[in-house]
Amino acid sequence: MDDTTELVQALAQQVVTVVKQSLRTAADLQAATSLAWIETALREVLRQVGAQALGQLLSGAPSTPVAELACACGGTLHYQRTRPATVLSVFGRVEYERTYYAGCACGQGYAPVDATYGLHAGQVSAGLAELLTLAGVEMAFEHSRRWLKGFLLFDVSENTIRQETQALGQEQTAHETQLRDQSQDETWLQAHLRTTDPLPARLYGSLDAAKVRIEPRKEAEKQAETETWRDLKVGCWYEAEPVPLRQRSTRQRAVTERGQLSQRAKDIRYYCDIAEAKSFGQLMWATGCAAQADLTRELVFVCDGAGWIWNLIATHYPTAVQIVDWYHAADRLHRVAHAAFNQTAPRARWLDRITTALWEGRVADVIQACADLGAPCSEAQDAVTYFTNNATRMHYDQYRAAGYLIGSGTVESSCKQIVTQRLKCSGAQWIIPGAVDTAKARAAWLSEAWTPVCMRWSALPLAI
């Protein structure tokens, strides 16, 4: 048995002693003999031990500190005294003592242990901040508070969770600004063109938007009790991989039966913003450069039929393959059929025939079939315009032969996960900065890019 094991066992015995003492003083002896009570009591003791241990570790400064230190401004800092500090950590509030320097002409103080561990006295530790943000990107801040207490065994304010979540979103915004700047820098672009990093053989992109409720800020809006809704634009970059037979959904099995390769998205990277199309296009270009979309041998966009989407793609990636999401196109035919036919049998025959034509890439036949339904059917006339405008993006027979994904479910899922599940959860109401920051933090989490974002973010001041 090594020394560490012996120390752990000795500590465990001491913890058991404390828990037994709590058992003897428990008001409800019957509840206190349950396993759930014992587990909670153990966790609480271990939390307190962790807080004490962390405080002692942070207080472990040299007994004889140096008299002077160089200041970041170029001046000299002088040892003052040992000063107490408190930080909110994963163990709760932790108190520690650290040497403190001041006296430089710049007026700034300095505590070496704070600089070493990225601590900011009276604020939140990086480890706790990550946990708070994980909760904040998943559920409403009010609910996050109650949820976190069950895990942490101490209260954290709703406002703290909000601040930490949105601070990470702001860091993501700063990172995207850096990507924008470098994607417009000629020197960086030239080096980017010479990259030796492996390139994806085929990369996909998708864009979409969803409405977010924005709290009225102007007095006139508040008096009128109007609601303002803004588009949160969402984009993603991803690759595709075959779906193993045993993992295929009902829809994927049906697609395979119709002669299409069953695939799913992988390595998904999301980005989002409440912004005008031109500004969002710059973000699309910047994140695309980071994903090597401008260098990949084959770039494919699968989106719905919104005009702003195709305009951005044509501006920034004019050589990319453009595909209208199959399910949007097929749904348009369903709407036409239900508007044009009252009887089930003729509706089903027409829909089966025209959907087959669309599946086979015979868009001209689809347009003619909608036009033949005549002016009285406004849905059919709208469909004529829709299919005419997107005819070059509906060669589904060619896309299947090339092995392309033809559904934009990846970005539609992101809209649901970012907007519907988080920004539209019960009682949610936002001002624009808060909505954007929270959305960007959640996009980072969904992108599985959480670790690098948190590494950049851990150096930032974190506030209670």
Tens digit of each residue's pLDDT (9 = 90 or more) over 274-330:
999 999 999 999 999 999 999 999 999 999 878 999 999 999 999 999 999 999 999
Q: Which residue has the higher pLDDT, 61 or 352?
A: 352
117: tokens are: 């561990």
Residue ranges per structural domain of the chain: 3-58, 328-393
- Strand 68-70 to strand 92-102: parallel, antiparallel, or no bridges (unpaired)? unpaired
Comparing 356 with 429, the larger pLDDT belongs to 356
Is there a contact between 384 and 367 (Cβ–Cβ < 8 Å)?
Answer: yes
Q: Which structure tokens are listed for 443?
A: 């996009």
Burial zone of 278 (CB within 10 Å; 0-12 exposed, 13-18 middle, 19+ buried): exposed
Residue 304 carries which DSSP code? -
For CA atoms 48, 51, 56, 59, give the dihedral sign.
Answer: negative
Q: What's the whole-number average pLDDT of the chain?
A: 89
| pLDDT score at 225 | 54
Interval 142-184: pLDDT, tens: 889 999 999 999 999 999 999 999 999 999 999 999 999 999 9
CA 46 to chain centre: 32
For residue 69, give the H/E element and its range. strand 68-70
- Which DSSP symbol is given to 197? S
CA of residue 79 relative to chain centroid, distance: 44
- Burial annotation 89-118 (CB, 10 A radius, 16+ → b, else e): bbbbebebbbbbbbebeeeeebbbbbeeee
Q: What per-residue confidence (pLDDT) applies to 460?
A: 47
Type of residue numbered 380:
A
DSSP string covering 34-45, please?
A: SHHHHHHHHHHH
Per-residue confidence (pLDDT) for residue 3, from 0 to 100: 77
Confidence of residue 69 (pLDDT cuts 50, 70, 90): very high
Contacts of 280 (CB under 8 A, 6+ apart): 233, 235, 273, 312
Residue given tokens 């033809």 in the structure block = 406
* Contact in structure between 264 and 215 (CB atoms under 8 Å): no
C-alpha count within 13 angstroms, C-beta hemisphere, residue 20: 6
CA neighbor of 204 nearest in space, from 322, 328, 315, 304? 322
Identity at 79, one-letter amino acid code:
Y
Half-sphere exposure at residue 312, Cβ-oriented, CA atoms within 13 angstroms: 26
